[in-house]
Amino acid sequence: MDLRLPLASPTAAPAGAVPVVELLSADKLFADGNRGVAPISLTIAPGEFVSLIGPSGCGKSTLLKLIAHLYEPSEGRILWWRGAFDKVGRAGRRLAFVFQEPTLMPWANVATNVRLPLDLAGVPRGEAVARVGTALAQVELGDRAGAMPRQLSGGMRMRVSIARALVTDPDLLLMDEPFGALDEFSRNRLDEDLLALSHERRLTTVFVTHSVYEAVFLSTRVIVMAAQPGRIFAEYTIDEPQPRGESFRLSDRFAVRCRELSGLLHAASVASRSVPA
């Protein structure tokens, strides 16, 4: 099998809009010889909410880190707004990354944690404080600015982590299984809030998840990945109207979507086993 063959990637981009991210046969070989992902071609358009889903080892986190520029592709290219990564900041465009863990500074209170990216970028204190207030209000933690991380629940810590991403006013939000460790109730609430936020702020979001339900609820497009080698197995577009809420989650259409996506995921995990590395 020719790994360099780019997979066809239909995109929801309206004609003429500058895509947020383009992967051009980008792959990742780790130093230990493990292949993170086979050459992948993928285009993400402004305003899309793209979920990456797949069996473990399929490279969804690797793909996300390539998009975040936490990894350099071994071969191929990645373009952000049709340019190289070092042009991202100069054009006033920003990426924000939310990790699996909240990764907060335990010695600093909520407001200081959220202010961190602004402090690192040298934003004047007065402006930074005002933006922190807005970001905390958006994640409904306006009254917990002075709390220490250890005083918060897991869900609240994740909200702080999201506020820290939002405070930079990002154009592209990258999230690596952010709610995986939370109970279902907190996860559903955070999903709803995240969706409302990303819709309201016209964010482009790439979201790694294990959960079919979460992917269907949040995404405009789901990328189903398969392992050995990590690759895009299928794409699944979800053109349900926004805003989505609890009524969508309880609807028949939601159940049908979940069943279809589960089927694709199952096929992907079968394909992951049958293809030799």
Partner 1 sequence: MTPLIERAWVRNALAPLLVGIFVLIVWQAFCVLRHIPPFLFPAPTDIAASLVENLPTLLWALLSTMKVTLLAFALAAIIGTLTAFLFVQSRVIEVSLFPYAIMLQVTPIVAVAPLIIILVKDTFWSLTLCATVIAIFPIISNTTIGLRSVDPGLLSYFKMNKASRWQVLWRLRIPSALPFFLAGLRISSGLALIGAVVAEFVAGTGGRSAGLAYEILQSSFQLDIPRMFAALVLITVTGVLLSACMALLSNLLLGWHDSAMEDGR
User: Residue 75 or 119: which CB sits closer to partner 1?
Assistant: 119
Residue 119 engages partner 1 in binding (rule: CB under 8 A):
yes
Q: What is the dihedral of CA 32, 27, 18, 88, to 10 degrees?
A: 20
Whether the CB-CB separation of 173 and 119 falls below 8 Å is answered with no
What's the rounded Cα separation, in Å, for the pair 221 and 211?
14
Among 165, 7, 198, residue whose Cα is nearest residue 96: 165
Q: In angstroms, what is the minimal distance from the CB of 5 to partner 1?
A: 32
Residue 70 engages partner 1 in binding (rule: CB under 8 A):
yes
Helix (H) or strand (E) holding 98: strand 95-98
Site for partner 1, residues 244 to 263, rule: CB under 8 A? none
Whether the CB-CB separation of 158 and 178 falls below 8 Å is answered with yes
Stretch that binds partner 1, among 146-154, 187-195, 247-255, 260-268 (CB under 8 A): 146-154
Residue 105 engages partner 1 in binding (rule: CB under 8 A):
yes
End-to-end CA distance of the chain: 11
Q: In angstroms, what is the minimal distance from the CB of 179 to partner 1?
A: 16
Residue 117 engages partner 1 in binding (rule: CB under 8 A):
yes
Stretch that binds partner 1, among 21-29, 76-84, 114-122, 249-257 (CB under 8 A): 114-122
User: What are the strands, taking DSSP E only, across 10-94?
Assistant: 21-29, 35-44, 49-53, 75-80
Residue 103 engages partner 1 in binding (rule: CB under 8 A):
yes
Residue 92 engages partner 1 in binding (rule: CB under 8 A):
no
Whether the CB-CB separation of 158 and 119 falls below 8 Å is answered with no
Whether the CB-CB separation of 104 and 162 falls below 8 Å is answered with no
Residue 121 engages partner 1 in binding (rule: CB under 8 A):
yes
The DSSP 8-state label assigned to residue 183 in this structure reads -
Residue 148 engages partner 1 in binding (rule: CB under 8 A):
yes
Stretch that binds partner 1, among 4-12, 98-106, 129-137, 212-220 (CB under 8 A): 98-106
Residue 68 engages partner 1 in binding (rule: CB under 8 A):
yes
Residue 32 tokens read as 């230990």
Residue 102 tokens read as 């909240």
Number of residues that bind partner 1 (CB under 8 A): 21
User: Residue 17 or 121: which CB sits closer to partner 1?
Assistant: 121
Residue 107 engages partner 1 in binding (rule: CB under 8 A):
yes
Which residue has 């592209």 as its token pair? 172
**Residues at the interface with partner 1 (CB under 8 A):** 68-70, 89, 95, 97, 99, 101, 103, 105-108, 116-117, 119-121, 148-150
